[in-house]
């Protein structure tokens, strides 16, 4: 397969994104190749408990600041948003609507334009500064992550919230082997996948659920109205290719067989493992918003919201609140 330059012009001056410094180790199969989500989730719960006790914490060189509770009535705010809010429905449907429009336009352009279109999958040797894309050959496909992309794991997260628990591999495996009755399709996913299939596009899933539980994942996807999903054909799982929780090797397998028109996920690792190559939160945010990467959002790369777990939930006060974006209330009581 021939690699061509990205549709997006390469940009100079984006330093530090093109040299992976460490191989990530995954604990949570819902994530894309790092441990941040599980760790942060545990810290979030601990911080919430600390805040509810009425304590304050010192932050960097700032004065001690009160910490707002992360939960209301025991339900973490992220779960309220993703599983309980109309806003999450709107955001998810918005993404699926944009995806279907994009793919339909891509299909029209592919038949009417002379130039060879590009895949949404990056080529070997690509960097975040120069995200070279593979050329398009073969039948069109769209590659979806599973968890919190097409399927909401509401039942598993209920067990987290109810028990005040963080991610647990054994409990997650039991969840993978469950009948899926406590899952729901992400709003817009059933209609979106049906529209893509009606347009002649193959729907492929690339998930970090385990290959050993493939038959259960097939059944859950089919039950939710998202199938057909067939392991090894349209369902690729952790263990199907080298790289552990990294998804690039599985993406390469899929891209060798199909023209991957779009990638859809809820974690940046659903698009390229380069995002999980040891970047600090601020570097990762800058990379996602860089001139080389930013135009891919909504143009081949489509993100679903996930404030419940994952690589987004990282960063201390210095990461999240840069020095030039801090305000101190002049009306606050003097100490
Ligand atoms: Mg996911």
149 CA from centroid of ligand 1 (Å): 5
208 CA from centroid of ligand 1 (Å): 8
State the pLDDT at residue 109.
87
User: What 3-state DSSP class applies to 97?
Assistant: helix
pLDDT digits (tens, 9 = 90+) for 108-160: 888 777 666 899 999 999 999 999 999 998 999 999 999 999 999 999 999 99
Q: Which of 311, 310, 308, 314 minimizes the C-alpha distance to 155?
A: 308
Spatial contact of 284 and 268, defined as CB atoms under 8 Å apart: yes
118 CA from centroid of ligand 1 (Å): 24
306 CA from centroid of ligand 1 (Å): 8
Ramachandran angles phi, psi of 306, nearest 5°:
-150, 90
pLDDT digits (tens, 9 = 90+) for 195-235: 999 999 999 999 999 999 999 999 999 999 999 999 999 99
146 CA from centroid of ligand 1 (Å): 6
Question: What CA–CA distance (Å, rounded) separates 294 from 292?
Answer: 6
288 CA from centroid of ligand 1 (Å): 17
State the pLDDT at residue 52.
36
Neighbours of ion ligand 1 (CB under 5 A): 145, 147-149, 266
Domains and CATH numbers, the chain: 77-310 (3.40.50.1000)
61 CA from centroid of ligand 1 (Å): 36
What is the value of pTM for the model shown? Answer: 0.81
State the pLDDT at residue 110.
82
State the pLDDT at residue 70.
57
Q: Which residues of the chain have pLDDT under 70?
A: 1-72, 114-116
């Amino acid at each position: 397969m021939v690699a061509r330059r990205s549709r997006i012009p390469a940009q100079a001056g984006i330093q530090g994104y093109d040299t992976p410094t460490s191989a990530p180790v995954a604990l949570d199969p819902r994530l894309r190749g790092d441990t941040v989500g599980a760790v942060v989730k545990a810290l979030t719960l601990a911080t919430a408990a600390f805040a509810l006790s009425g304590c304050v914490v010192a932050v960097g060189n700032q004065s001690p600041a009160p910490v707002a509770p992360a939960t209301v009535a025991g339900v973490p705010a992220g779960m309220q948003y993703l599983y309980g809010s109309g806003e999450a429905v709107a955001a998810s449907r918005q993404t699926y609507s944009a995806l279907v429009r994009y793919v339909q336009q891509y299909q029209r352009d592919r038949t009417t334009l002379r130039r060879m279109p590009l895949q949404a999958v990056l080529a070997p040797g690509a960097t975040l500064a120069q995200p070279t894309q593979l050329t398009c050959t073969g039948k069109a496909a769209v590659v979806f992550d599973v968890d919190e992309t097409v399927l909401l794991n509401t039942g598993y997260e209920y067990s987290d919230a109810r028990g005040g628990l963080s991610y647990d591999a054994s409990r997650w495996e039991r969840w993978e082997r469950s009948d899926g009755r406590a899952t729901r399709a992400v709003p817009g996913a059933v209609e979106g996948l049906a529209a893509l299939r009606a347009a002649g596009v193959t729907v492929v899933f690339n998930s970090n659920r385990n290959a050993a539980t493939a038959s259960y994942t097939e059944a859950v996807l089919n039950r939710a109205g998202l199938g057909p999903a067939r392991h090894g054909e349209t369902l690729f799982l952790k263990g199907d290719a080298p790289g552990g929780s990294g998804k690039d090797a599985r993406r390469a397998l899929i891209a060798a067989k199909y023209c991957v028109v779009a990638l859809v996920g809820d974690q940046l690792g659903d698009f390229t493992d380069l995002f999980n190559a040891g970047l600090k939160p601020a570097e990762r945010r800058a990379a996602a918003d860089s001139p080389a990467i930013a135009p891919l959002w909504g143009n081949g790369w489509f993100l679903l919201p996930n404030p419940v777990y994952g690589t987004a939930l990282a960063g201390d006060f210095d990461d999240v609140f840069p020095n030039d974006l801090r305000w101190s209330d002049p009306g606050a009581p003097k100490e």
